[in-house]
A and B are shown apart, each in its own frame.
Chain A
Amino acid sequence: MGEWGFLSSLLDKVQSHSSVIGKVWLSVLFIFRIMIIGAGADKVWSDEQSSMICNTKQPGCKNVCYDHAFPISHIRFWVLQIIFVSTPTLIYLGHVLHVIHKENKLREYMQTHAGETVKGPKYTDEKGHVKITGNLLGTYMTSIVFRILLEIAFIVGQYYLYGFVMDPRIVCSRAPCPFTVECYMSRPTEKTIFILFMLVVSCISLLLNVAEIFYLVCSRSSRRKAKTVPSSAIAIHPHFNGDSLMKNEKLSLHDTSHSTA
């Protein structure tokens, strides 16, 4: 499935601007979801409709019973899940690239106008590494929150559509089927295995996202705590006021902070 290349290349770009847990989440997405769908799950669901048998010869009954039992096939559902869950990340990528571009312009401006006092670049350093702070951190956390909400929505949606175990027998009484007929799906056990596997992967992704939120919040609050200067320190150096000390602390902390990636 070469079409996943688009999404893969975009998500690859995000990887360098994510935290550690974010990178793990992306790897889980690639390996345990996209690859599994492309390599294995496709084949299991390929004969979903052709191998379904109903105990009636009524023309059209099999079609409507299949449609009633599977309003959307699992494969398509998972593909939509992957795409929707990746979308907040792609929007974050757009913001990152925008920020990088603006800071590059700022650097050029600063180089040509060396004498002017201009606010320095906030997010990037000389090597091009991006720090996730401020607005960028806000966007990042918003994207994680949306990811969490979408994952939960899809897991709950899957539960309500199909449950988590495939029963081989489908009971159907939709027109034009005469009264009630029984239909039998193909490969129910194999499908159950894949469904449970994808469910576990979704839950792991969800937990990773939640952990990432906690990680970012904790690292941010620990940074904030380190920033506050004790009042005794200010008293020792009377010619410094609290503001300038705080500012110096802030700058040095921004330089040395490793909480991002």
Chain B
Amino acid sequence: MGEWGFLGGLFDSLQAHSPMLGRFWLLLMLVFRILILGTVASDLFEDEQEEFACNTLQPGCKQVCYDMAFPISQYRFWVFHIVLIATPSLLFLMYAMHHNNKRTTHSKFRQISSQDYREDLRLRRLYIINVVFRIVAEIGFLVGQWLIYGFKVEAQFPCSRFPCPYTVDCFTSRPAEKTIFLCFYFIVGLIAAISSCAEVLYSSMKWFCSSRESLAPERSCVCENLHNSKQEEVEAEAKPRGRTVSESAASSMRLKGGSMRSSSSRKASSIGHKCRPGKYVSSKTLMV
């Protein structure tokens, strides 16, 4: 399934804008969900209806019983799950990029202003809101999965829907394997929800509690980071678009110590990354 490539690319660019816990969540999403879904689950659920057998020759009975047993296939449910859970993060990413473009077209002067701080603060608030929505979506889908499927896929499914004669026994395909993956996705969802909660608590504590207590010394360090990142920007390509991103990135980098990563480069070890030409790089320093 090549369709996941698009979402994967977006997640890659999101990775450069997330704190450490956010990256852990992205790792969960990419590796444990999308990868599993694309490689494994598609084959697993491919023959779900063909192999669904009912002990009756009554035409149409198998179809209606399959429909009753699986109103939505787990596979499609997980596709929805991934897309809807990714939506808050992607909206945040789009907003941040759009805002950077807008800002840099308006302000050509490189001065640290209080507006930058307000902007920084707003971005952080939006990130927290994004994570909160993500948590709500995760928990919602966990509850939904439990309500629709439970934790076990039964091998045998008694069905008495018209046109089946009285009650017939239908047998699902690969119930044990599906149970394993149902539990697997549930556990991954649980871990993702917990890590998102931890991210919210940690980030709010770092950004909002400490910033209210000591604004002055923080400002000097933030100024420093902004200066450094500005110099790098000038050295690199002087792409105005990325500046505000890297400013707010630099200030938040100091606070949360997330590692800087550029999505366009594949080798992350070189210091020269920051100065590497390529507007994508300069705009990809940490945003939040």
Chain A residues with CB under 8 Å of chain B are: 1-7, 9-10, 12-13, 16-17, 38, 42, 46, 49-50, 58-60, 62-64, 66-67, 70-73, 75-76, 79-80, 83, 86-87, 90, 94, 96-102, 104-105, 107-109, 112, 124, 126-130, 175-176
Contacts and interface: CB of A to CB of B under 8 A. Distances in A.
Contact of B177 (A62, A72, A127): A72
B147 interface: no
Contact of A176 (B2, B37, B55): B55
A60 B44 contact: no
Nearest to B286: A101
A7 B269 contact: no
Given A6-B8, A73-B174, 5 more contacts: A7-B35, A10-B31, A94-B24, A98-B258, A105-B225
B176 to A, nearest CB: 4
Contacts of A4: 35, 39
B108 interface: no
B111 interface: no
Nearest to B260: A101
Contacts of B268: 13, 16, 96-97, 100
B173 A2 contact: no
B146 interface: no
Contact of B1 (A3, A72, A83): A3
B130 interface: no
B36 A79 contact: yes
A165 to B, nearest CB: 21
B228 A3 contact: no
A4 B184 CA distance: 19
Given A83-B36, A112-B228, A60 B169 contact: yes
Contact of A104 (B47, B155, B174, B260): B260
Given A64-B171, A101-B257, A5 B8 contact: yes
Given A75-B43, A97-B261, A63 B27 contact: no
Which 7 A-B pairs rank lowest in CB-CB distance, beginning with the nearest?
A: A60-B171, A3-B38, A101-B259, A128-B270, A59-B55, A97-B259, A71-B176
A50 B48 CA distance: 11
A98 B1 contact: no
A130 B30 contact: no
Consensus secondary structure, chain B interface: helix
B55 A17 contact: no
A58 to B, nearest CB: 7
Interface residues of B, number: 63
Contacts of A83: 31-32, 35-36
A76 B40 contact: yes
Nearest to A49: B51
A176 B35 contact: no
B161 interface: no
B54 A59 contact: yes
Contacts of B34: 3, 6
Interface of B: 1-2, 4-5, 8, 12, 20, 23-24, 27, 30-32, 34-40, 43-44, 47, 50-51, 53-56, 155-156, 169-177, 180-181, 184, 224-225, 227-228, 253-254, 257-261, 266-274
Contacts of A101: 253, 257-261
Given A50-B47, A107-B271, A70 B4 contact: no
Contacts of B274: 104
8 contacts: A1-B39, A6-B30, A50-B51, A58-B55, A60-B54, A83-B32, A124-B269, A130-B269
A63 B155 contact: yes
A59 B175 contact: no
A97 B257 CA distance: 11
Contacts of B180: 71-72
Contact of A67 (B47, B176, B228, B267): B176
B39 A90 contact: no
A125 to B, nearest CB: 9
B27 A128 contact: no
A90 B44 contact: no
B155 A67 contact: yes
A100 B259 contact: yes
B259 A49 contact: no
A98 B155 contact: no
A110 to B, nearest CB: 11
